[in-house]
Amino acid sequence: MRQSSLFTKTRREAPKDELAKNAQLLIRAGYVHKEMAGVYAYLPLGLKVVERIKEIVREEMEAVGAHELLMTSLQSKELWEKTDRWDDKNVDVWFKSELKNGSEVGFGWSHEEPITELMTEYLESYRDLPAFVYQFQTKLRNELRAKSGIMRGREFVMKDMYSYTRDEEAHLKFYNAAIQAYHNVFMRVGLGERTYLTFASGGAFTQFSHEFQTLCDAGEDIIYVHKEKRLAVNKEVLTPEVLAQLDIKREDLVEEKAVEVGNIFSFGDVKSQQLGLTYRDEEGNEKPVILGSYGIGITRLMGTIVEAFADEKGIVWPESVSPFAYHLVSLAGNDAEIAAFAEGLYEELTDAGKSVLYDDRDARAGEKFADADLIGIPWRIVIGKEALATGQVELVHRKTGEVTRVGRAELLQR
Amino acid sequence: MRQSSLFTKTRREAPKDELAKNAQLLIRAGYVHKEMAGVYAYLPLGLKVVERIKEIVREEMEAVGAHELLMTSLQSKELWEKTDRWDDKNVDVWFKSELKNGSEVGFGWSHEEPITELMTEYLESYRDLPAFVYQFQTKLRNELRAKSGIMRGREFVMKDMYSYTRDEEAHLKFYNAAIQAYHNVFMRVGLGERTYLTFASGGAFTQFSHEFQTLCDAGEDIIYVHKEKRLAVNKEVLTPEVLAQLDIKREDLVEEKAVEVGNIFSFGDVKSQQLGLTYRDEEGNEKPVILGSYGIGITRLMGTIVEAFADEKGIVWPESVSPFAYHLVSLAGNDAEIAAFAEGLYEELTDAGKSVLYDDRDARAGEKFADADLIGIPWRIVIGKEALATGQVELVHRKTGEVTRVGRAELLQR
């Protein structure tokens, strides 16, 4: 993409009311635009990152046998009353409105209820089980406060997956496969090392739920990490009984701030009982279906990646989620030969299938370098007089600042 | 995809309150699920069609130089008051709610206002123009009635594009490029022949807007078609003056029912004036930016395709938007050899990059054929005893019913 065709520009300052580092940098670099507190539009560069994260998540969800669908934002009161989650006293993040005929409707902040009701139309027999589905959905949550940038929004993109199985054994098999798929996702986006499977409160049906918590100063959670065993315990369940049960000692745990980037949860047969989702087994007995729910906050993950890797110069994207692989910076100025060299290389790289942001703007070198640092693409290719003279270009690694010189052929083969 | 892994099943009956043919068929075949009137979830097969249509539209929008972004559903009252489109008396399709602090918010039914306001932060000089952006957004509209299935929903996917140009000349250049891009889209999804560029009411700034109307009995619009000139006039502007202006005669026009699958609209500088979007020209004069708006209803287009091509047996997808290219139907029953043949062919086809829905279910041939007809994938491959004996498979064209016999190698090379 030619940077001259991009309407976004970098900014020196983020909006004054924006306190979160992730949003400050993403706004300054032109990835997102703040519509209101906790509500961000995703500009061309930002949407590319969202889509790259989604594609990694999609691949891992498909690998465990889940199929993608898309539920609706509009939700009926009658459905959520069945599980007692309509009343604002029980769920305090609903946005609600009404149809022209006066019927109340809500806007989806979660989707266990509609997906489970939908399944009552399709799942009848043990032959129909298991069923695994997921979606990428824009969730709307009427949060009281929204001050963590894109890490806790009133409108945000979430991947939510649901498993429907016949019994606890089949449930656990998928639950464990999902844990592994989640580890794969966090590893692939570069957060594997600092993300911990965390024991958290389980609700009505199970003792524990499992969170994936990424160590991060901007996190809103406190967890206790056992680095050696690579697991953690959420503050909310840190009791002597739980420590004994997990066979870990309090003194081996380190208190850390963390962001919940994923969570998985067993609903058992509670929702199925409430919504009438049953199946007939081989003997014709009617039994409730077991439900599991598995979430990853896609835009929160994007914010966490920014928080985790940014330095004083700006964003530092891991290669796996960067909007482009290369940032080709032309220092042509008025030099037609350098401009032609840069144009030629841009064409060659894109023809070879490489994703390139090409800074073809008429601007000073210092401004271009500062913008490139802020935008944070992993590899910068610099085309100046020297490239023309030697045929070699300067390749700069955003993360380490390391500079190497490579020829065109080498660059194309990378 | 193995059909046995798909939780959806075909149904003999659509919900009794569903009157529209598109929704009846899409529900019966397992493409969509009705959440409430005008609100449909997209099941795995349905989401694949939506994504294929989006990809065609995306390619054509990128080809005219537009960049994709994603605006928000949540909208601020203050913004829409500036253009006098907040009040329910002026816009009667708002869903509205409020934040915890009592501020009113709306849910996006259109996005000219927020995109134009966003642009005020980026567009300053003639050097920043033109700028072309588009998005695929879930729009929410509080329609009084919703009885046309996915062709007029309260929640639906729309592609909306916006052009920002410095003057009328640059505007018209892009406007005409967009008309061509729209023709390309409708041609590629199979509706080109029956879709007409239609002159319609233009609002405050221009005499005409342009609609793309697809002839369809289920359409809610009445248009007057000039088949020879391949254009049409919306009933709302059918006056002697307009006919004279377009140099067409009333007697050459045929009245037709049609669906508005796309529309393009010049806002001139009206919104820019209201929202303060100006630029400085070469002489430093401050001028308002010219805005154009270009919509395609993605899910409406999907419904129109169903209405246009379905026959008495079910849906008939054009190849360009079908969820799969092939429906591989195994008639193995208890025959292990046929099952192995079908499995092998499924692996070979998918390894060769072909998209295949593989009916590996334990069901009667009649049921499988009826399901395949209802689901409407363009090419059915039948694997029975004969395939095993001759090595040739039966290839059935869904649209014409034509049957040919082809060998494996030929199938892989198609």
Determine the pLDDT at residue A281. 98
Residue with tokens 């709307």: A140
Q: Phi, psi at residue A229, to the nearest 5°?
A: -85, -5
Residue A152's closest CA among A28, A297, A45?
A: A297
Q: Would you say residue B253 has pLDDT above 80?
A: yes
Return the axis-axis angle of helices A168-188 and A44-63, rounded to nearest 10°. Answer: 140
> What pLDDT was estimated at residue B302?
98
User: How many CB atoms lie under 10 A from the CB of residue B378?
Assistant: 19
Dihedral of the alpha carbons of A248, A254, A259, A265, in degrees to the nearest 10: 10
- The alpha carbon of A87 is separated from its chain's Cα centroid by a whole number of angstroms, namely 29
Q: Which residues of B127-162 are buried (b: 16+ CB within 10 A; e: fewer)?
A: ebbbbbbbbbbbbbbbbeebebbbbbbbbbbbbbbb
Candidate from A44, A65, A119 with C-beta closest to B5: A65
| pLDDT score for B204 | 72
- What pLDDT digit, counting tens, does each position of B261-291 carry? 999 999 999 999 999 999 999 999 999 999 9
Range 207-236 of A in CB contact (< 8 A) with B: none
CB distance from A7 to chain B under 8 Å? yes
pLDDT band at B249 (very low <50, low <70, confident <90, very high): very high
Mean pLDDT in chain A? Answer: 96
Q: Which residues are A233's β-sheet partners? A: A199, A224
Gap between the Cα atoms of A270 and A291, Å rounded: 8
Residue A329 has φ and ψ, to the nearest 5°, of -110, 115
Instruction: Tell whether B342 lies on the interface with A, counting CB pairs under 8 A.
Output: no
Tokens of B45: 């097969």
At a CB cut-off of 8 Å and minimum separation 6, what does B188 contact? B56, B60, B320
Residues of chain B contacting residue A47, judged by C-beta atoms under 8 Å apart: 68-70
Classify A326-413 by CATH class: alpha beta
User: Which pLDDT band, with edges at 50, 70 and 90, does A364 fall under?
Assistant: very high
Cβ-Cβ contacts under 8 Å, A122 against chain B: 7-9
What is the model's pTM?
0.97
pLDDT reading at B294 higher than 80:
yes
Beta A96-98 vs A67-68: how paired, if at all? unpaired
What ipTM was assigned to the predicted interfaces of this complex? 0.96
Query: Looking at residues B235-260, what average pLDDT do you find?
Result: 96
* Residue-level pLDDT at A30: 98
N-terminal to C-terminal alpha carbon distance within chain A: 19
Q: Is the pLDDT reported for residue B205 higher than 90? A: no
Of the listed ranges A162-176, A260-274, B130-144, B196-210, the one predicted with least confidence: B196-210
Provide the pLDDT for residue B155: 98
Contact indicator for B191, B261 with CB cutoff of 8 Å: yes
- The answer to whether residue A21 scores a pLDDT higher than 80 is yes
Q: What is the mean pLDDT of residues B298-304?
A: 98
Identify all chain A residues contacting B97, using CB atoms and an 8 Å cutoff.
95-97, 107, 142
Q: Which residues of A are less than 8 Å from B39 in CB distance?
A: 72, 74
- At A138, give phi and psi (nearest 5°): -80, 110
> Residues of A numbered 170-189 whose beta carbons fall under 8 angstroms of chain B's beta carbons: which are they?
none
Gap between the Cα atoms of A299 and A316, Å rounded: 16
CB B220 within 8 A of CB B307: no
User: Which H helix or E strand runs over A135?
Assistant: strand A131-140
Least-confidence region, from A134-143, A145-154, B252-261: A145-154
pLDDT-derived band at A414 (thresholds 50, 70, 90) equals confident
Mean pLDDT in residue range B157-161: 98
As a whole-number percent, the residues of chain A with pLDDT over 90 amount to 94
User: Region A347-356: what's the mean pLDDT?
Assistant: 97
Helix axes A298-309, A44-63, angle to 10 degrees: 110
pLDDT of A206: 84
Indicate the average pLDDT of chain B: 96
| B69 with A41: Cβ contact below 8 A | yes
Helix (H) or strand (E) holding B33: strand B32-36
User: Are residues B143 and B298 in contact, defined by beta-carbon separation less than 8 angstroms?
Assistant: no
In this model, does residue A67 exceed pLDDT 90? yes
Contact in structure between A330 and A195 (CB atoms under 8 Å): no
In this predicted structure, what is the pLDDT of residue A302? 98
pLDDT of residue B186: 98
Residue from B99, B128, B144, B150 to probe the interface with A (highest A Cβ count within 10 Å): B99
Cα gap B213→B233, rounded to integer Å:
10
Residue B203 has pLDDT above 90, yes or no: no
Domain ranges of chain B: 3-73+108-309, 326-413
Quote the CATH superfamily of domain A3-73+108-309. Answer: Bira Bifunctional Protein; Domain 2 (3.30.930.10)
Give the model's pLDDT for residue B283.
97
What values do phi and psi take at A204, rounded to 5?
Answer: -70, -35
**Which tokens go with A121?**
């139309």
Q: Does B120 touch chain A (CB under 8 A)?
A: no
Which residues on chain A are in Cβ contact (under 8 Å) with B9?
A: 122
- What was the pLDDT predicted at A267? 92
Chain-chain contact of B107 with A122 (C-beta, under 8 angstroms): no
| Cα–Cα distance for residue pair A139/A154, rounded to 1 Å | 8
Confidence of residue A120 (pLDDT cuts 50, 70, 90): very high
Give the residue-averaged pLDDT of A200-217.
91
Q: Where do the H-state alpha helices sit in B21-43? A: 21-28
- Predicted confidence (pLDDT) per residue in B323-348, tens digit: 999 999 999 989 999 999 999 999 99
Structure tokens at B106: 């709306």
Chain A CA closest to residue B36: A76
Tell whether A10 is within 8 A of chain B (Cβ). Answer: no
**Closest chain B residue to A10, measured at CA:** B122
Question: In the predicted model, is pLDDT for residue A263 greater than 80?
Answer: yes
